[in-house]
Amino acid sequence: MTAPAKRLAALSFTLAAFLAGALASADAQSREMVSVDRPEINMRAGPGTGHDSIWLLGRGYPLQVLARKGRWLQVKDFENDRGWVYRPLTDATPHFVVKAKVANIRKGPSTTTRIVGKAHYGDVLRTLAHKGDWAKIRDADGLVGWVARKLLWGW
């Protein structure tokens, strides 16, 4: 291969890698999320009340929107369970769900700050802020603190 051909191949590879990274980043940032806006709602097997209820979801539970059909949303949760929910029963209030067995809730956004509580797998936490790899949350009991985002799913 000639020197110009090698440079062109290297440039093409670099450009392809850059575009792949940019598209992956845009996809992660553009995902549409909703959360449950009632004490409990049904996740159904299809778009409509004629379909079986497959899960009962509580207030704040975060869901990623996959598709729409009328006023129904096809969604998935942090365990990749998929189903349909009625759009008027959801809103855009940001929440996380704990995907780790146990997550420490800390006074500040660092592993060097004091642990003020613990959250467990499946707990729903209200999202208050983000700082780097940390999320400021409020749990169901009103405790406010910081949790490492790698232990959470949602937004």
Q: Are 45 and 65 part of one and the same domain?
A: yes
Confidence of residue 1 (pLDDT cuts 50, 70, 90): low
- Note down the domain range covering 37: 33-91
Q: Which of 91, 115, 134 is the last residue of a domain?
A: 91
Q: Are 135 and 149 part of one and the same domain?
A: yes
Over the stretch 93-151, which tens digit does the pLDDT of each residue have? 999 999 999 999 999 999 999 999 999 999 999 999 999 999 999 999 999 999 999 99
Q: What proportion of the chain, given as a percentage, has pLDDT over 70?
A: 81
Rounded to an integer, the average pLDDT of 59-87 is 98
Q: Are 119 and 74 part of one and the same domain?
A: no
Give domain status of residue 70, yes or no: yes
Give domain status of residue 132, yes or no: yes
pLDDT over threshold 50, residue 84: yes
| CATH number of domain containing 132 | 2.30.30.40
CA distance 121 to 10: 45
Q: Are 109 and 144 part of one and the same domain?
A: yes
Q: Are 99 and 150 part of one and the same domain?
A: yes
Q: What is the pLDDT of residue 15?
A: 42
Give domain status of residue 5, yes or no: no
Give domain status of residue 11, yes or no: no
Give domain status of residue 10, yes or no: no
CA distance 62 to 42: 14
Q: Are 82 and 118 part of one and the same domain?
A: no
Q: Are 87 and 100 part of one and the same domain?
A: no
CA distance 8 to 115: 53
Prediction pTM value: 0.79
Rounded to an integer, the average pLDDT of 7-34 is 53
Q: Are 62 and 107 part of one and the same domain?
A: no
User: Can you read off the two tokens belonging to residue 36?
Assistant: 């449950």
- How many domains would you assign to the chain? 2
